[in-house]
A and B are shown apart, each in its own frame.
Chain A
Amino acid sequence: MLRAIFLKEWLKLRWSLFGLLLLHLCLLGYLWLRLRHQFQVEHSEMIWYWVFELRRLLYDQLMLLPALTGVVIAVAQFGPEMLGGRFRLSLHLPVRGDLLVWAWVAFGAGVGALLALLDVVGLYGLIGLFFPREAAASAVLTALPWLLGGWVAYVGTTLVLLEPAAARRVVYLVLGLAFLALLYRHRGYQEYDRILPALIAASLLLVPAVILPAHRYRHRS
């Protein structure tokens, strides 16, 4: 049964995933070209000064990519369910509604996590090509709030799409954007290190929340 659920998610997501994979690889490729270009046109001392004295991020092009990925995955997964009321088809399947929605979210979050892993490995490798290993590890830690932004954008978009009541949809949208805004307030390296565990814990509250719109969809009056 789980295989059948995942089959449908794969069919909905495959072309979007292919597009996202290309986008992530292109952005990592662009980052590599840009870093290589910097080192060719500037002295290494100057780049060191920018990066470690002025705390300028050389990979901030990646910043919004996870959030965009989260939104695209959620729209590709839940848009077709909500069009024409097709969500009713899923809710009539002989499987518990909450487990079904969590299975969908697990699949979407899983493929999002794979793309996030690609970003982490790519970022670590690229920074490691030009800087010491400590700088590569710091780049990954700096990028973690952006990756968390991908998860928040995914679940937030899911809530907005699944919710049947327009007023609640606006509330979810505002809450999602406010949470995202919290994750993009830094200007240097690893500024979220201490608060990140709390933010991750808060973002996990969104997991039980996704079954509420599904419940309301079924039991609205």
Chain B
Amino acid sequence: MLTADRASRASESASSDLAGAAPPDRGVAAAPAIEVRHLAHRYGSRWIYQDLSFSVPEGRVVALLGKNGVGKTTLIRLLMGYLKPVGGRCRVLGEPSHALSPATRARIGLLFEGHLAYPFMSIAQVERFYGPFYPRWRRDLFDELVDRLELPRDHKIANMSCGQRSQVVLGLIFAQDPDLMILDDYSMGLDAGYRRLFLDYLKRYLDQGGKTVFVTSHVVQDMESLVDDLIFLRRGRAALQMPLGHFRERFRCFAFAPDDGMAPAADGVIESVDLHGREPLLYSFASSEQLAEHLAERWPRVRLGDEQPMTLEDAFIGLTGKY
């Protein structure tokens, strides 16, 4: 019999597997690039997190995923010291996030949500402005990315489309040659081609070794070829962290036949139930045998169907829910 308790341990074990998991292709370094312990934050009386803990080991690419409003951008603001947490602590590259030294900030390439940039600067001026702040400035990388825009260097950022502006901003971040990239929704405003190009550049950047990327994105399918680990933020539930491979391997989707309209509900073994589609589906980290056993105990008249193939996006929606 698989109880909710046992299954939640199964889910937790999936999350704790990260520590012992063999890295898929990049080595795990000893010190975490980002460490969050018992973080608590709220806006007014609304709690965003009450006890959030996770770490991003150096040399890994970690995606922070979650539905709108679960606190992804808030977390990045906390990590960069733009917000003071109500409780707990965050450390970035070994320093407290609210007191990052200039030398440490020089090692962090930060992409703000919405590709924040100075609209009154031209392409040439923004490069002239940022270059002197970064000792490892790679103007060649900036030029390479920005030349693809085929815009004159005196073109103002204010007169660019959202996608063009994002290319300039991402060019600036690559040119910094940072040890840690924190990218808050990098895909916003990028077309499919440029998103692919950006991922190619990101892989080249990672190939240098020792680089860490912490990324949020709404385009979940991009994560498949990029990330090592996933962190799911879920409203009112503990964050779930695990290697991408483990998630793809262990998180399953099954069809089921409801019992006269009575459907199973999420309970710790069952992560979520989708009744909105043509065929009712349920999602779980449990194996089909464990799930069948669980259903037999809790919903004996519900019949478990076949396991369904899933894309990463399907799995993400299955875990976090559609609404």
Contact = CB atoms under 8 A, between A and B. Distances in A.
Interface in B65-88: 80-86
Interface in A1-59: 1, 3-4, 7-8, 11-12
A93 B172 CA distance: 12
Contacts of B322: none
B98 A219 contact: yes
Interface of A: 1, 3-4, 7-8, 11-12, 80, 84-86, 88-89, 91-96, 217-221
Interface of chain B, helix or strand or loop or mixed? loop
Interface in B117-154: 117-121, 125, 128-134
B134 A4 contact: no
Nearest to B103: A94
Contacts of A8: 118, 121, 129
Contacts of A1: 132-133
A32 to B, nearest CB: 35
Given A7-B129, A8-B129, A94 B120 contact: no
Interface string B101-124: 011011010101010111111000
Nearest to B98: A219
Contacts of B110: 92
Given A1-B132, A11-B121, A95-B133, A219 B84 contact: yes
Interface residues of B, number: 30
A61 B102 CA distance: 47
B131 A4 contact: yes
Contacts of A221: 83-86
A73 B108 CA distance: 32
A3 B131 CA distance: 11
Nearest to B122: A11
A81 to B, nearest CB: 9
Contacts of B80: 88, 92
B112 A88 contact: yes
8 contacts: A1-B133, A4-B132, A12-B120, A80-B118, A93-B133, A94-B105, A96-B102, A219-B81
A219 B134 CA distance: 24
Contact of B134 (A94, A217, A220): A94
